[in-house]
Amino acid sequence: MSNAGLVVGRDTALVVDALYVRSMTQAFKRAIKKTSTKPLRYIVCTHHHADYTLGLLLFPEEIPVIAHRFMKERMQETGIDLAHYREVNPEHKKELRGIKQRFPSLTFEGGVAFDLGGRRAELLHSGHAHSKGDVVVHVPDEGVV
């Protein structure tokens, strides 16, 4: 349905998107624990749609959620139409009950970079793409976007 990622540096790690429903996010968190013991320092949201953001509630609140300013604004403007998602994804109907939104706690404009300890993660906003606040995460030393 959607994708997520993990960028691991020498000191810390950065999560890219939080997925959709509890089962997906829990599987992602298990994979993170198998992959790295580095502390999660940041969560980056690449856009506001529910299949990338509903899982935010399953990560500890002390981990800041970072997004472009427009992404947070779109989340606030549109809210979550859970009835719509239950109709579109009936297989997840039960998991879409009682879900609330967790909004980004830090926003930026243009771009911003993070040093995770020997590994740089760049967050880039190139204008309106799939949605108004889309962000690309670039890891230059790995040549990965």
Exposure on the CB side of residue 29, measured as CA atoms within 13 A: 16
Torsion sign across C-alpha atoms 56, 3, 106, 131: negative
Residue position matching structure tokens 């760049």: 122
| Residue range 50-85, pLDDT digits in tens | 888 989 999 999 999 999 999 899 888 887 767 777
Low-confidence stretches of the chain (pLDDT beneath 50) = none
Residues 6+ apart with CB under 8 A from 137: 5, 7, 14, 16, 44, 46, 121, 122, 123, 124, 145
Predicted TM-score (pTM) of the model is 0.89
65, 19, 81, 126 alpha-carbon torsion, rounded to 10°: 60
Give all domains of the chain, ordered by start, each with its CATH number. 5-138 (3.60.15.10)
